[in-house]
Amino acid sequence: MTIEWNLETLRLDSLSQYEKNPRSLSEKEHRNLSDSIDKFGLIDKPILNSDNTIIGGHQRVEVLMSKGVQQAECWVPSRILDENEIEELNIRLNHGGSWDYDILANAFDVGDLLSWGFDEDELGLGEKEKPKKKEKFVISFEFEEKDTMLDYIGRCEELAAESDAKMKIKG
């Protein structure tokens, strides 16, 4: 049976929190949501059950109440939803996708993205990865005769001069 939804203006203090809501916001996310509501209004209305239990929009309601807003338009179903419907709708409303960072990087201004709530690490602008130190390889030889060793060192010096190798002689 299809559920019809109607917009109703309700007092925010008459709404109940859904005790199984698994989502929360960090302070930064709360500020970003608040800024969005300040700039664009409440375009994404809270979704309630017909008993005024919030199914989706807990954070929007919290932000509005923190601003002293007393009432807001909310989506209300034409019939009471059962517990399974509430659980499913709550999860579906809060289960999102992921960002396409190639589009973000190529189609948006970085400054705008930062002011809209992204942080530098999310955009790959954080501290640059330090270059890895070059690996060093060490080789050691033992010689029984000094002349053989000196001949070998001479040849190694020639090879080292042809490459970026460095020679250290210990002993």
Instruction: Tell me the pLDDT tens digit for each residue of 1-16.
Output: 689 999 999 999 999 9
Burial (CB count within 10 angstroms: exposed 0-12, middle 13-18, buried 19+), residue 97: exposed
- For the segment 58-99, what is each residue's pLDDT rounded down to a tens digit? 999 999 999 999 999 999 999 999 999 999 998 888 776 677
Domains of the chain: total: 1
Report residue 104's pLDDT band, with 50, 70 and 90 as the boundaries: confident
Are β-strands 71-77 and 54-56 bridged in parallel, bridged antiparallel, or unpaired? Answer: unpaired
As given in the structure block, the two tokens for residue 37 are 């509501």
- For the segment 19-72, what is each residue's pLDDT rounded down to a tens digit? 888 888 889 889 999 999 999 999 999 999 999 999 999 999 999 999 999 999
Q: At what angle do helices 58-66 and 27-40 cross, to 10 degrees?
A: 80
Let me know if residue 83 belongs to a domain: yes
70: CATH: 3.90.1530.10
pLDDT at position 100, please? 78
Overall pTM > 0.75 = no
Give me the chain's average pLDDT, please.
86
Report residue 126's pLDDT band, with 50, 70 and 90 as the boundaries: confident
Domain boundaries, position 62: 5-96
Let me know if residue 89 belongs to a domain: yes
Cβ distance 15 to 69 under 8 Å? Answer: no
DSSP SS3 for 170 = coil
